Structure 1
Amino acid sequence: MANEGNIASIQEALQQDKLDGWLFYSFRGSDPIAENILRLDHAKFTTRRWFYFVPARGTPGKIVHAIETGALDSLPGDKRVYLPWQQLHQHLRETLGSAKKIAMQYSPLNTIPYISRVDAGTIELVRSYGIEVVSSADLVQVFEAVWSDEQLESHLYAAKHMREIVDE
């Protein structure tokens, strides 16, 4: 479960990169990167679109479908529930507020396919609000390509024993 400390770390990274926010989006589990970074339960499959916006400063916002109102309950932030797509668009515009430049799991010209998780239509929708969408690749690297203390300890343990085997 994402906690306040995790969100604070994301916000700190956004400020360093001079971004107004990071918009996470998924439809039917289309973004495992979001699930990992937000520490969502991978077993909890959703069938409707959801958005989670982490602003550089302030309270995050979540947008979920009326059928799956609890989809993002493990995350902090204000919740908006939509039913028709028009309401989704309205909630998204309101949630993004005055943001001008945000990151999404998008890769210009699909140069990094691993990152490219958001469909073109959703990118176009966000851009239609006058918002510049940039790749989240650098942010993803900060939060995904890092070892935990346990992983580092395991690596050092294995390396030590490999050295012993090689030296025999």
Structure 2
Amino acid sequence: MDLNAIQTALREAGVDGWLFYDFHNRDAIAARILNMDTSRFASRRWYYYIPAEGEPQKLVHRIEPWRCDHLPGDKHVYLPWTQQQDMLKSILSGAKKVAMQYSPNNNIPYVSIVDAGTIELIRSFGVEVVSSGDLVGRFEAHLSMDDWESHKIAGDIMQMVKDETFKEVARRIKAGEAPREVEIQNFMH
């Protein structure tokens, strides 16, 4: 995780922070961006807040206090759910707008991961929740030069397959045949 890059992106986006939240390893986006160990089952909720300015904050349950130990920032440990809510409210006290893995009207289901109850909880603190979609795109959907070259090669191959397939369809029609979809699929393989 590149903390400086994320904080720069948050400032550019005009949001006060990015709140990551997970329960039962449901958020693969958070796992990849934060390099979380998903081989260990997450039986308790955890939060990781990256503010646009300042030190990140971790909120973990006492049963799994190690959950975010590999990440920078201050660690807060909760036990009862009321303490979790109080600590989370305190962590977010300076924020007016935070990004989460949420998509209004579920327009981008890939990003719409955080449950409605958690969104309601954050909003109850007077914090506006906005989609992390653009941030996810920036930190997840980028290609290395090797990736880009691979995509260009794949694109060339797909173009060739399309061209050859249409030539074959035209050939069969000119020969008086009525090609069926399954025959064309077999030709493409």
The answer for unaligned runs of 5 or more in structure 2 is: 162-189
Q: Does 1:85 align with 2:85?
A: no
Q: Does 1:66 align with 2:62?
A: yes
Q: State how far apart, in whole Å, the 2-side matches of 1:10 and 1:96 are.
A: 17
Runs of 4 or more off by more than 2 Å in structure 1?
148-156
Q: Indicate the residue corresponding to 1:7 in structure 2.
A: 3
Q: State how far apart, in whole Å, the 2-side matches of 1:62 and 1:49 are.
A: 11
Aligned pairs, how many?
160
Q: CA deviation at 1:153?
A: 5.3
CA shift in 2, pair 1:153/1:44, >3 Å: farther
Q: Indicate the residue corresponding to 1:44 in structure 2.
A: 40
Q: State how far apart, in whole Å, the 2-side matches of 1:151 and 1:47 are.
A: 35
Q: Does 1:31 align with 2:27?
A: yes
Q: State how far apart, in whole Å, the 2-side matches of 1:76 and 1:151 are.
A: 29
Q: State how far apart, in whole Å, the 2-side matches of 1:150 and 1:59 are.
A: 34
Q: State how far apart, in whole Å, the 2-side matches of 1:145 and 1:19 are.
A: 20
Q: CA deviation at 1:120?
A: 0.6
TM-score normalised by L of structure 1? 0.87
Larger radius of gyration, structure 1 or 2? 2
Question: Letter of the aligned partner of 1:51 in structure 2?
Answer: Y
Q: State how far apart, in whole Å, the 2-side matches of 1:152 and 1:39 are.
A: 23
TM-score normalised by L of structure 2? 0.78
Deviations 1:9-67 (A, max 9, x none): 11000000110000000000111011111122232321110000000000000000000
SS in 2 for 1:106: coil
Q: Indicate the residue corresponding to 2:136 in structure 1.
A: 140
Query: Which structure exhibits the higher relative contact order, with contacts defined as CA atoms closer than 8 Å and separated by 6 or more residues?
Result: 1
Deviations 1:111-145 (A, max 9, x none): 11111110111000000010000011111111111
* Coordinate RMSD, CA, aligned: 2.0
Question: Letter of the aligned partner of 1:9 in structure 2?
Answer: A
